[in-house]
Amino acid sequence: MSSIEYSIGKNSTMRTVSILVVDPFPATSHLIHDLLQQDNDSHYQVNWCTSIKEALTEPRDPPADLIFLDHGLEQSEHKNYLGLARRNRFPIPIVLIGDTIDIKEEQAQIEAGASDYLAREELTLYNLKRSIRYAWDLQERESRIAELMDYDELTGAPNRQNFYGRLMQRLDHANASGQQVGLMMLNIDGFKKVNNSLGHLIGDLTIKEVALRLQQSLKPGQQLARISEDQFTISIISRNARAELETLIDRIRQLHRMPYQQLERKVILGCSMGCAVFPETGQDLDELLRHAGTAMHQAKKERGSSFRFYSEGLDTDIANQIALEPELLSALRRQQFVLHYQPRIDLNSQSIVGAEALIRWQHPTRGLLHPGEFIPLAEKTGLIVPMGYWVVYRACKDLEALQSQGMELQRMGINLSFRQFQDDTLLPTIQRLISHADVDPSLLEFELTETAVALNEVHVGHCIRELSKLGLTFSLDDFGTGYSSFAHLQKLPINTLKIDRSFISGVIDNPDDAEIVRAIINLAHNLRKDVIAEGAETPEQVAFLKDNQCDQVQGYYYSPPVNFEAFREMLCEGLQEATG
């Protein structure tokens, strides 16, 4: 056997501190045992094993509270175990023991993930106990910081950033295993009124009770998260996600119909639930979130605890999708992609001041394919990254052509997928494309979704700031659908908000939609940002937006997306063809 176990301490009622020594030779474990035997204040159990593999794979009872790892062993196995432990938030402190090293090298080991470094020749009982206490204190602080970063402090539920990461993992797992992911977006109707009328103390107590009831309704494997003041999400992974969501909805409605009693106040709240299922009605992260949010918004139009499942106008033909995949891989090389442009209209001047570039696939046998027919495949295959760079390149060339003919635009909107931010070459590639284009970088506006920002706020924020230094501008797409964070508007160089079409469609018939749109316009202007309304289709909607000082609109009332030649003609002729 390569392991030795010691039990140290005279008081058997004390909690046992379990220490694991990982060293090819037993001398270090013997030394630690002999030193700790002198400590009458604590009870220790020292285990020894010879390899990191053995330490990771063999179960121990009790599990280790602290690991002393031979510095030479960690180096000789040629794997960055310390970095791996830090990235995965390994819950056990690791103290390195080795020969005396200089301060600079010791600091490097700490930065790599070690809690402390002890030199063998300086190993005394005092130094040993100090290192144990320090490692525990450090681990406790890091655990607390991680908890604050990943969990909602009030309810203890995973927060927005944690939720996005978990959902991404679930989608990857479901994609690999052939399962489904069900997502429920849940709004607690009337909660903001409780806060405003009864005060934040009762509001906090109520939302804690809401979270508790929701948690009680879940079965193992179903995950709850709180993503905003009055919104929660629940995700499940299953072979039949819709059926599980329907059962879950019944349980939530039963629990939620009971009044919330807080400090002699009885609170009755509604609940609106919107559901989408991967891959049936949401084929990637952005689409699943957007569709669940759209369904929730539809459910809010009814009273009580209502729900809606997102339904698509056209079902995707699975056989066609399978056939498209190998063709998609060669489509970029064969130059089969084209850009269409949907104009943005300034509501005051009624002139075209910008456009959004939208990719299309000119398939040799199936004709013109829209993004919903191939973007999910591009996300799956990774082609979305070079495809996104091609869109930037093509849009720049088309802008050059327009400028050479004396036609000017204020902005050209280009969508960036969240997967673009996972590409290490994003910044240098965009910089190279911009430098080769004879256009003003400020004319290019990258449209971001809240998902892209929230998946890795620090990294994406860094990329946005660096790109903005090149003169590029940014807009936040689908604003108001439930994922938008005001913090992003304050911290990031975002110039424009785009109001989601689901709100614009209801501004005439639904007072709630109208009030939301007014609030978003006011918010944007108060923050000195422009606001664009998407999906304007009727003269009544356009008149409402103009009356409420919306800056620009984009929608079929003026023009659908058109090819470059048609868009150029529109710029030449003004809006005569677009509006009739």
Strand ranges, E, within 92-143 = 94-98, 116-119
The correct CATH number of 4-149 out of 3.40.50.2300, 2.40.70.10, 3.40.50.10490, 1.10.260.40 is 3.40.50.2300
CA distance 353 to 36: 76
Q: Report the 10 Å Cβ neighbour count for 59.
A: 5
Report CA-CA distances (Å) from 537 to 559, 563, 579: 9, 20, 11
446 phi/psi in degrees, rounded to 5: -85, 125
In total, the chain counts a number of residues equal to 580
331: pLDDT strictly greater than 80: yes
Q: Return the residue matching tokens 């000082």.
A: 549
DSSP secondary structure string for all residues of 164-184: HHHHHHHHHHHHHHT-EEEEE
| 14-57 residue pLDDT tens | 567 888 888 888 888 888 888 888 887 778 888 888 887 777 66
Report CA-CA distances (Å) from 194 to 208, 267, 493: 13, 8, 34
Q: What is the pLDDT of residue 484?
A: 47
Q: Is 202 left (phi over 0), alpha (psi -120 to 50) or beta?
A: alpha
**Among 65-69, 214-218, 390-394, 571-575, where is mean pLDDT lowest?**
571-575
Please state the separation of Cα 373 from the chain's center in Å.
Answer: 24
User: Cα(first)–Cα(last) distance of the chain, in Å?
Assistant: 87
426-430 long-range contacts (CB < 8 A, ≥24 apart) are 426/463, 427/463, 427/466, 427/467, 429/389, 430/389, 430/392, 430/467, 430/470, 430/472
Longest dimension (CA), the chain: 94
CA distance 66 to 97: 13
Q: What is the pLDDT of residue 314?
A: 32
Mean residue pLDDT across the chain: 83
Q: Report the 10 Å Cβ neighbour count for 118.
A: 21
CA distance 119 to 537: 73
Helices and strands counted in the chain (H then E): 23, 23
CA distance 272 to 348: 37
Q: What is the pLDDT of residue 532?
A: 95
Q: What is the pLDDT of residue 443?
A: 94
* Cα-based angle 180, 182, 187 (whole degrees, multiple of 5): 170
Contact 115, 82 (CB under 8 A): no
For the chain, the structural domain boundaries read: 4-149, 160-309, 318-579
Strand ranges, E, within 212-336 = 223-228, 231-238, 260-262, 265-267, 270-278, 305-309
Contact 286, 451 (CB under 8 A): yes
CA distance 82 to 236: 33
Report CA-CA distances (Å) from 285 to 96, 288, 307: 41, 5, 21
Q: What is the pLDDT of residue 318?
A: 41
Homologous superfamily of the 160-309 domain (CATH): Reverse transcriptase/Diguanylate cyclase domain (3.30.70.270)
Structure tokens at 402: 């327009």
Q: What is the pLDDT of residue 153?
A: 85
| 536-547 residue pLDDT tens | 999 999 999 999
Confidence grade of residue 266 (pLDDT, cut at 50, 70, 90): confident
CA distance 222 to 150: 17
Structure tokens at 351: 């002139």
> What's the topology of domain 318-579?
TIM Barrel (3.20.20)
Structure tokens at 161: 């950033």
